[in-house]
Amino acid sequence: MATPASQTINLTLAQALQYANLTNQSIFQPQLDNLLIAAKDNAAAEGVDKTVIVQITPPGATQLGFTGGIKWSQETCREYLYPPGDSTRVQPDVNNAMMAACNQATATSKITQGTIVVHPT
């Protein structure tokens, strides 16, 4: 049975900024890691891309604005999740994507979505 093509984490703008500014990495890191493990495993098993969406909502926002993100191979995702890499090389990619989404949310007062697409290979 196929798994969902995407799974979403919902954050307030304040929470996302704490994460992107490295002031509170634990705010959703365990949830992100769990969804990335599932995306990695399911993409490989099913032979299709799987997406983790981080949805950032500024106060009072109801409309969807910017959506964009990064694309990872199985190897990049593995390196992010497990030693010896354990996110040191690719964490800046996540932080930069998160900050870009936060900047868009702040500038437009719209909900933004940062995505990590995990390829099956």
pLDDT of residue 86: 64
pLDDT of residue 85: 63
Would you tell me how many other CB atoms lie within 10 Å of the CB of residue 24?
14
pLDDT of residue 19: 86
Predicted TM-score (pTM) of this structure: 0.89
Q: How far is CA 98 from CA 16, 45, 84, 86, 92, in A?
A: 7, 28, 24, 18, 10
pLDDT of residue 25: 73
Identify the segments of the chain with pLDDT beneath 70.
85-86
Burial of 108 (0-12, 13-18, 19+ CB in 10 A): middle
